[in-house]
Structure 1
Amino acid sequence: MAQKYPLSKKERRGLAEEIRRHSSQLASAILSANEVVIIRTRVGKRKVTIYLIDMFPALVKENDIIFPTIYLVRRISWKPFVVVDKGAAERIAKGAHVMVPGIVKVSEDFEKGEVAVVYDEEEKPIAIGLALMSKEEIERSRRGKALRNLHYDKDKICKLMATLLA
């Protein structure tokens, strides 16, 4: 059963501050929105909190990790990010983790544990990942898992958001 309630102004300011370094555009949207609502629910065995900004599914929080939805990164920029080649993109878009050999570009410096957007070579967002390596480690390494796939298009989170908003 999903629990749904609006965020207070104080909670909105805290959320905006947490997000600002990744997207100043989103931080401003959080503060200027008519309504920011959170929905606490389950996706399979996963406990998640979904943040709706003026009824738009913008963020997801799971295990104290807050990350943008695929829907959001199609509209605004989010840093950091990685770009992957076509072969990797096909697998990542189906839920695979991001492996070092598939990465063709890494944005600004980021550390292990940060959330990053994964783009294909046509600059289309395909997934949201949690960095298992820093930018420096990715650039030095030739193999290994660089990011854990947290969310991708048509995953269970997307399906849940579609039912909640229907």
Structure 2
Amino acid sequence: MGSYFLSDNYGGDPVPTAVQVIKRSLAKYGLSDHSATFIGSSKGANIAALVSQPFDRNQLILCAYSTDVEYRVRNTDYSHLAVALDRFKIPFPEALEILKSEGYRKETHWFYSIGDDLANRGQEHTTAPQLTTYACTESHSDVILGQWSTIRDLISLRIEQNEQEA
């Protein structure tokens, strides 16, 4: 059931290593962070947001993002994860603050399922200058597939904008 990328198998922070790998991969192909889109759904959305933070100009697309990871973990079948993180003294990230911060710094899109109180926690009206929200009728686990056409268009538009700037 994973750790939401809050810990590796030894209680360490996995984000710096992931960021190094992404930066090396971008450099290998001569790309900048402006060319990158970080995308994830559900737990993957929270991971994408964590890994996106060290980058300044990437596009961020979050589907079924949990705005309060600690609440979600402690109140679902993931509660064993909370016990492990507590033992390692690993805090839960402030997911809503990450969403807002990213929405102030870069192009951010949040696709959320209407009525998904466990993930949204009543934060559907969150705003930031570069944050666009999308209310979706799909269930939590179906948001990314149900909205794939819109997501693909967002990525394509970003590619076109990058090509025009080059």
TM-score, normalised to structure 1's length?
0.27
Of structures 1 and 2, the one with the larger relative CO (CA 8 A, separation 6+) is 2
Identify the structure with the greater helix proportion.
Answer: 2
